[in-house]
Structure 1
Amino acid sequence: MDNHSYNFPSDCTPLTSCKTGRKPTGSTVVHMGAAGAGRSPPPRDYLVWSLCNTLYVNFCCLGFMALLYSIKARDQKTQGNLQLAQECSDKAKWYNILAAGWNLLLPLLAVVLLVLLLVHLGASKGSFDFLGEDGLHNFLKLFSW
């Protein structure tokens, strides 16, 4: 675009001061109130925690449920409905706790079962060395018919 298409009054041009007696009307002031004046902080939405639990794919899609409630809590918070946002935030928190507990329980259970298997095999008759000669071969013989 060329500058000829813009029409400015002759006494006011961009980047220069106006020659007329017009003065700015003042500034706009918005009073926000004192910080922390009887208000509780907005509810948390636990979105990052929910994303981590969702990506880990756990039992009964608990992480996905937490993600849904986290998004709903964030939406309600932006709309100004803090009571419903708090309810959704609480649900997201508990689904995240359940999902994280389940995510920690399965690997812990697998380690405990492996330790119990090794203790049982070490105490049984004809114990053998897993890392020595023929250790793996002898171990596999236990499971052959």
Structure 2
Amino acid sequence: MNHSSQAFITAASGGQPPNYERIKEEYEVAEMGAPHGSASVRTTVINMPREVSVPDHVVWSLFNTLFMNFCCLGFIAYAYSVKSRDRKMVGDVVGAQAYASTAKCLNISSLIFSILMVIICIIIFSTTSVVVFQSFAQRTPHSGF
């Protein structure tokens, strides 16, 4: 740098070193086509989510339909889940949330009732097998080896 350019920089900035970020912003504004002498315009960009995420519980409903379909609650939950997905595709967020909430309640009910039925079946099976085993043990005579 020669002496004449240093004098220009110190005179223009009031004796302070140049602000390189400001120079970079002016370069970008000039690149976009704004006039060279215009003041830089600051903008604020706020990214808004375009779509509110509404869970539709389709996978859970399908699992309950295939494996734990107590009184067809899993199938009904699947129907509500599909309706929730359809409403979400149309853009009706409130309707999608209502159908998703109903599907969730039906899935929880189906899961609880199915687990209770499995526990009751295990209890009945174990008690009947103990009774059957005891009755066979009483009928057969013990042979003395």
Q: TM-score range by the shorter chain?
A: 0.5 to 0.7
Change (3 A) 1:114 1:60: closer
Please report how far the alpha carbon of residue 121 of structure 1 lies from its aligned counterpart in structure 2 after TM superposition.
6.1
In the alignment, the residues of structure 1 paired with residue 95 and residue 75 of structure 2 have an alpha-carbon distance, to the nearest angstrom, of 19
Structure 1 stretches lacking a partner, 5+ long: 1-31, 130-136, 139-145
Within-5 A mapping of 1:43-82: 43-56=54-67, 58-82=69-93
Please give the residue correspondences for 1:92-107 in structure 2 after superposition, counting only pairs within 5 Å. Answer: 92-107=103-118
**RMSD between aligned alpha carbons?**
3.1
| Separation (CA, whole Å) in 1 of partners of 2:121 and 2:73 | 21
1:77 touches 1:85 (CA, 8 Å); kept in 2? yes
Q: TM-score, normalised by structure 2?
A: 0.54
Q: 1:127, 1:42 → 2: CA distance?
A: 61
Percent identity of paired positions between Structure 1 and Structure 2 = 33
Segments of structure 2 that go 5 or more residues without pairing to the other structure are 1-44, 141-145
- For the pair shown, which has the larger CA radius of gyration, 1 or 2? 2
Match of 2:96 in 1: 85
Using the TM superposition, name which of 40-49 and 87-96 deviates more. 40-49
In the alignment, the residues of structure 1 paired with residue 68 and residue 121 of structure 2 have an alpha-carbon distance, to the nearest angstrom, of: 17
1:61 partner letter? C
1:35-50 equivalence runs, <5 A? 41-50=52-61
Judge conservation of contact 2:61–2:75 (CA < 8 Å) in 1. Answer: yes
Write 1 or 2 for the structure with the bigger share of helix: 2
Q: Normalized against structure 1, the TM-score is what?
A: 0.54
Matched ranges for 1:11-50 at <5 A = 33-34=46-47, 41-50=52-61
Query: What letter corresponds to residue 96 of structure 1 in structure 2?
Result: N
Change (3 A) 1:121 1:91: same
| Number of equivalenced pairs | 96
2:137 counterpart of 1:128: yes
1:60 CA displacement: 2.3
Instruction: Indicate if the aligned counterparts of 2:68 and 2:110 stay in contact, CA closer than 8 A.
Output: no
